[in-house]
Structure 1
Amino acid sequence: MNPVRWQRLEGAACAVLALIGAAALGAWWWPLALFLAFDLSALGYLRDPREGAFVYNLVHSYWGPAALAGWAIAIGAWGAPGSQTPVLVVAAAWLFHVGVDRALGYGLKHDDDFQHTHLGWIGRASARDK
């Protein structure tokens, strides 16, 4: 199996685990409700392709939900019991979004074209001919 397929499979696994985590928190529907919110990061492309790719990649990397989950764990360790739950739900929704995007082949963007990702070209076949 080629590396891109492994990365897409990894994305699907992350999405499933995020849904399981959200369900364990009693909020299985939040990842679905917040799904498109993370795509607001693509608005950076209105200013400039390079800035758009930077902002999009910042939001569509695994490190963001991981850092947020780590922060939630710290809140739980030092805060009131249950105070970390909303933060963990957002982290699960974020991970779900990134995982689904990767599973569908939407990877991190190169700054030359929105359709050019680390997983290859997305969209019409003509985009691949660039």
Structure 2
Amino acid sequence: MDNIIFERLWKDSNIIELKVMASSEYINVFQSCYVEDVLLENAADKINNYIENPDEVCYLEFGNKTGYYTPAFSLSILPSDNHGHVKIEVDMEIADNDRRAHRCCFYVSCELGQIERFGQSLVSLISEDEEVKVSLIK
């Protein structure tokens, strides 16, 4: 089943370690990365803006895809069709070499309502007391 899950593994001050899991009918992949809480807030805002205007692409990048940093990934939420169906292009680093040369790209299919709930739930990863896992599929 197509899904994207963000799980908070650790939080210190304004830095969060996330385990990001994504799956489609063809693949299951995960990676861990470090993000600032403000990045999650910005992603939630971008998703909210996308919901208001789903005819445009919403691009979210977590980390830097170039250089010698922690693993990075991106989500490109494509325009919805007339029925509210959406494809999200997942681009995730495979951390199996020092050059950061291997990446995995694939589509996750979902609906506008699922994206809206996901975006609204992202900020819960910032709070210490709230749930530590956010899923596209409830």
TM-score range, shorter chain: 0.3 to 0.5
Q: Scaled by the length of structure 1, what TM-score is found?
A: 0.34
Q: Scaled by the length of structure 2, what TM-score is found?
A: 0.32
> Highest Rg: 1 or 2?
1
The structure richer in helix per residue is 1
